[in-house]
Amino acid sequence: MNIPGQLILASGSEIRQTLLRNAGVPFEVIVGRIDEETVKDALVAEGATPRDIADALAEGKARKVSMKHPEAMVIGCDQTLSFKGRLLSKARDKEEARAQLQGMRGERHKLLSAAVIYENGEPKWRHVGEVRLEMKNFSDAYLDAYLDRNWDQIRHCVGSYMLEAEGVRLFSKIDGDYFTVLGLPLLPLLAYLSERRVIAS
């Protein structure tokens, strides 16, 4: 079934849906399922940067949904974490999360949030937002307690933190847009939707 003139978010992320809903943007959700790990591994093998990987994954999701709903405007999104120039993937378990957070403790890293819009099976707009974050030199005791309290909520989060929850206590400094931290470069996206008269301005 086509959804003519409809705006589709090709993401199952609750926080991205909440951000758009709170901004008063009408949209439908149709998750664009792609084999993220295979795509990511291939791009890493080719030497792609974390920024390029975020952009490619967002595009892949938008393209997949756009092929089935060509008349709709489809937003694909993805987020990557760059630590010392390399891609840091989601931790597979609590022990790996602990090791990752210990490695990033007292250091800076970047979050890259990509959004790509497809129409008629073709990319029409793209943006990759970047945020630089500096972690505190927190204790092992706090880290263990943090993981015990929050693991169920953060297990699917890159970096093993949610900045909108207790994860904010891990940081000493954040340079960049809050919405980008949450996984969506919302302000540039709203500007484009306004320019295209999808939303009023």
pTM as predicted: 0.92
- Would you say the C-alpha torsion 91, 156, 57, 184 has a positive or negative sign? negative
Active-site residue list: 78
- Give the whole-angstrom CA distance, residue 197 versus residue 147: 44
- Give the whole-angstrom CA distance, residue 164 versus residue 197: 31
Mean of all residue pLDDT scores within the chain:
95
The CA distances from residue 116 to 62, 86, 119, 164, in Å, are 7, 22, 10, 24
Q: What is the mean pLDDT of residues 35-57?
A: 95
Q: What is the mean pLDDT of residues 74-83?
A: 97
The pLDDT assigned to 3 comes to 44
Side chain identity at residue 10, one-letter code: A
Per-residue pLDDT tens for 118-166? 999 999 999 999 999 999 999 999 999 999 999 999 998 999 999 999 9
